[in-house]
Each structure stands twice: as C-alpha cells, then as structure tokens.
Structure 1
Amino acid sequence: MVHPNRTDPETYYDEYGEQEWERLDRDFFHRLEWEGTVEQLDTYLPSSQPNHSPHVLDVGGGAGRYSIWLARKGYTVTLVDPSETQRELAREKIEKHGVDDRVTVHAGDVRDLDFEDETFAATCCLGGPISHVLDGAERLRAATELRRVTTSDGPVFVSVMGLIGMVMITVQYAGRGTADGDDLSVMPDLVRERDYTAALAQRHDMDPALFDCHFFRRDELVDLLSNAGLAVETVVALEGVAGLRRTHFEALDEPARDTIRELNDLLRTDSSLVDVSPHMLAVCWA
C-alpha cells in the first residue's frame, strides 16, 4: 500500500529526524556534498570581521549544520525550515555548539519568505529545498524569493538534486539487492516527467522510496535562476566523480580519498560532470 502523505517533504523530514543532522557527516560520499558546498561558500560569501557580521539566510536549513558553520565563521544567521522536528533539532544543536547568540530559527517556506526586500547579505538554499517544489511556477516563485530577500549583488547559493545522477545510480545498483536500485522500473517515467511522487511509484505498484522531488538537469537549473533575475556565476558538481559509486569508500586509504577530492576540484565546473552529480550547486548574484 502506498502512503502518499509520507512523500510530502515536511512530513518526511519530521520523520527523518536526527538523520538529517547526521547525513552530511555519515560517510565519505556524503561528506563530499558538504565539502564541495562549504568550498563555494568560503569563496563567494562576503567577508566577516570582528566588528562586521553579515546577515545570512539559511533557507531549508534543517537541523542547522550549515547555520552552525556560518555562525562559527562569524556570520549572523537566520535559519528557516518548514519541518517542526528539524527546527527543534536545529535549536538543540545551535545551543549545544554555543552559537545561539548568532542564529535564530523560524518556520517558513522557500516559496513565501516572510522578510523585507534585500534583508540579507547572502542567502543559502542548500541540500535541495527547491527540488521539493514540484510545480514549475512555484519553483520560479521560490527562486524569485531568494533573489528578493538578498541585498543587490549579494551571493545566492542554490543546490538541487540531479536527474542523470539519480538514474545512473539506480541503473548501477539494480539487481544488487540494495535500496539504490529498487526503483529501476520508474526511471523511464522519471526521465520523461522529472518528478518523483507517490503517484509515480503507485503506477509501478511499489511504495515510494523517497520524498516528492523534482530532479534537475544543469541547464534547467540555470534557466530557472536566470528567469528569477539571478545572475549565475557558476554551477558545480558536489559529489562529482564519486557520484555513481556512493559506497565502499572505506576500502580506500586517505591518500586515495584525497585524490578523489583533487579530481573533484579539477573537474568541479565541468558541465558533463555537473549533470551526473547527485547534487549540483549554483552560485548566483542577486
């Protein structure tokens, strides 16, 4: 029996709980998403000084991992997330890490941000919040909101989930008895429609394996952000060259892992690699 309500992103992340905090530090594969993201933040964020703490918005910030990193870097942060469970976890983690004087947490939705125009020096929308918006007009509204609340010429960081990476991972793991390959039969429809939903799973007589999600091609992401009035500086692959492997990195020693990181850095902006990466990140200017 399919349970459509469990594919709703807010419900999913309420149930996902602590795992969202753990996700980016779970293993080498997931740390690549984290490392690739903070590399871009370090490069493009306005500088913070002891007497200057730019205000950064973290949209869909979940349990607060990026907000805490930003606060430790000297930024003032506002975290917004629709999941009550994730907001409560964020408050706990923020207090535990001693940055509760720098980070505030609010309920909110990327499609309707309750802030005045040009409130923030920079805006982050990381991990895929816009991927959870299935309607195309609402995705444009969400991207426009990110631009609206950011100071003119301030950086906006948007990461989404990639279509080709999802398909290729599923094909690679099909028949191996792992969850990554269980959705093979839905992949042709996903390529045609680009939306993973409970209804899509139900058409194939299976329970949904993940949340409602729109999977992007690189050019589609660029078009969306450009149409929202954002100037796209670059789009980078996050998991990159490791994106289709996902597991068994524990067999590699640290020099081998460092080589994978070096390869990612060398190929980070290659458009072909961006398109097959499970997550891609766009750096834009408002």
Structure 2
Amino acid sequence: MDQSNRTKPGSYYDEYGDREWERLDRDFFHRLEWEGTIEHLETQLPPATESDAPHVLDVGGGAGRYSIWLARQGYAVTLAEPSETQRAIAREKVREHDVADAVAIVDGDVRDLAFDAAAFDATCCLGGPLSHVLDAADRRQAARELDRVTAPDGPVFVSVMGLLGIVLITVQYAGRGEEALDPSLVPALVREQDHTAELARRHGMEPALFDCHFFRRAELEDLLSAAGLTVETIAALEGVAATRRSHFDDLSEDDRDAIREANDLLRTDRSIADLSPHMLAVCRA
C-alpha cells in the first residue's frame, strides 16, 4: 500500500476494493455489526410509503450495502463517498440490485458536505467514517456537518470503531498470527487512541492496519452532543462477541443464536458498548 496516501480521504478504501462490500456478510462476527445497525434503522427511521420516500444521506457509504437496503425499504438515498473505487463499485451494485433510480452516488467528505442545511430527513454515517478523521478539530467539524444537513428532529446514525474493542481483540489473538495489529503497539494506542503509519514506524514496523482514531463511548457521546445532536442511545454492535471475533462457524447454530440473543439483550448496556469493536450512536438533529 502507498503509505503516503493513508491520511487522504478515501485512499484506503480505493485499495480495499470489493472487500468493503463483502465485509458485512463475511461471517457471523461481521454480520452482528450489520444486524445491530439495521435493527436501529428499522425502528428509528421515518416511515417510507408509496407516496412518500424520505430522503436519507449515507455518508461514507462505501460500496453501498446500507444504501441498497435503504432503497429497498422505499427511501430516496444519496450516497456520499470520497473513494472513487468505492463509488464505482456502488454504481455497479445498485444496478445489480435494481435500485439505481433510488440511489444518487456522489463524491463527498464528511468534513465538508456539499448539501444545504436540513436537506435530508435522516442521515447515516455507518461503519466508521468518523474514525478515519484523525484530526480532532476535523472530527468536530464532521459531527457539526451531520447535524447541519439533517432536518430538525431527524434521526442521525453514527457508528465508529471502539478503542477497547481493538485492544481486546489484539490481546486475545496475540501470538496466534491472527491479531489485528502488533501487541507491542497496544500501550501507545491506549495512550494516543490513533493508529497511524507514523506510530507503527516509531516502533520499528510497517503499518498492518489503516490510519484510524479509536473511540471511547463517552468521547463519542460528547463529540456528537457538542455538535448539537441529541444522543438517544449508544449501542454495541458486535458487543459480547468482541473477545472471540473468529471461529464462530465452529459453533452450533443454537450456540450462535444464543450469542446473538445475549448481544441483543445487552446491546444498549453502556459498558458493553464501550467494549464493542463498533458502537452505534442513535441521535436526533
């Protein structure tokens, strides 16, 4: 990977290619992120009817998984994505799923959204776009943009990558050859909350992970509240599965169902949300 491009919006996902489309359906662990997100979208989005298709913004929507789901539920969708490669994949996928008429795909950066104030009935920023904004001032600006473009009292959904989740996963898999990053980086990551190419090189290694800011739950709540959003809940997505991550297919279907049910029951527990590799904030503009 060209490390010089790591901090440019969309550059990582240009090289990530089809894997972003595949990620949310890769295995049981990743499907928990999808299922938890969809559960909140279904209950909090304004209803779509044959005569009324609310307009939803999908910021950093990548290859379009959420945009396609939204379009199939009857919403008019604008997918704003900085990666040219992901936009191209999204165009292909919306055609394949026969929703191209319902999804507009545009170049867009969460820090500077080229839309009028209150232009959307609801806004989604899912999978971690705010986590890829390393500068704290830029994250504050991005959060204000999510509030600005959403109609008053419209729902805003923001998911980010959790600090404790990545730490638990790395410790769990240390020495197995499956860790998300080198365990020697964990203390610095806990102190700084940012994984960057510069951090890895300071420790004498090439980066094995994208540039990313990892959130604590209270930090996410404070960021969104300061931007003018009313945070209604912060939910764990992978939640109780955080310390296993893989090999779920070795379990019986009954065992997987029990883990999913436990995760659903604990989804809005504040401690579990803080431990989750991805957490979802459900807000109102």
- TM-score calculated relative to the size of structure 1: 0.97
Kindly report the root-mean-square deviation, in angstroms, between the aligned alpha carbons of the 2 structures.
Answer: 1.3
Which position in structure 1 is the counterpart of 2:283?
284
How far has the Cα of 1:179 moved from its partner? 3.9
Q: C-alpha separation between the residues in 2 aligned to 1:5 and 1:26?
A: 26
Which blocks of at least 5 consecutive residues in structure 1 are unaligned? none
Task: Report Cα offsets for 1:71-106 as digits up to 9, x if no partner.
Answer: 000000000000000000000000010000100100
Give the length in aligned residue pairs: 285
Q: C-alpha separation between the residues in 1 aligned to 2:177 and 2:16?
A: 23
Which blocks of at least 5 consecutive residues in structure 2 are unaligned? none
How far has the Cα of 1:255 moved from its partner? 1.6
The answer on whether the counterparts of 2:64 and 2:93 sit within 8 Å (CA) in structure 1 is yes
Query: Equivalent residue of 1:101, what SS?
Result: helix
Q: C-alpha separation between the residues in 2 aligned to 1:135 and 1:6?
A: 13
How far has the Cα of 1:2 moved from its partner? 8.8
Q: Aligned ranges for residues 178-189 of structure 1 at < 5 Å? A: 178-180=178-180, 182-189=181-188
Structure 2 residue 15 is the aligned partner of structure 1 residue 20: no
Classify 1:256/1:2 alpha carbon distance in 2 versus 1 (closer, same or farther; 3 Å). same
Which position in structure 1 is the counterpart of 2:34?
34
Query: Equivalent residue of 1:226, what SS?
Result: helix
Which position in structure 2 is the counterpart of 1:75?
75
Classify 1:9/1:202 alpha carbon distance in 2 versus 1 (closer, same or farther; 3 Å). farther
Amino acid at match of 2:281: A
| Identity within the alignment, % | 69
Query: Equivalent residue of 2:245, what SS?
Result: coil
The answer on whether the counterparts of 2:24 and 2:31 sit within 8 Å (CA) in structure 1 is yes
Which position in structure 2 is the counterpart of 1:269?
268
Q: C-alpha separation between the residues in 2 aligned to 1:6 and 1:236?
A: 29
Q: Aligned ranges for residues 1-286 of structure 1 at < 5 Å? A: 3-6=3-6, 8=8, 10-180=10-180, 182-286=181-285
Amino acid at match of 1:46: P
Q: C-alpha separation between the residues in 1 aligned to 2:68 and 2:3?
A: 34
Q: C-alpha separation between the residues in 2 aligned to 1:179 and 1:206?
A: 15
The answer on whether the counterparts of 2:50 and 2:74 sit within 8 Å (CA) in structure 1 is yes
Query: Equivalent residue of 1:232, what SS?
Result: strand
The answer on whether the counterparts of 1:8 and 1:212 sit within 8 Å (CA) in structure 2 is no
Classify 1:167/1:266 alpha carbon distance in 2 versus 1 (closer, same or farther; 3 Å). same
The answer on whether the counterparts of 1:4 and 1:199 sit within 8 Å (CA) in structure 2 is no
Q: C-alpha separation between the residues in 2 aligned to 1:96 and 1:10?
A: 23
Classify 1:271/1:122 alpha carbon distance in 2 versus 1 (closer, same or farther; 3 Å). same
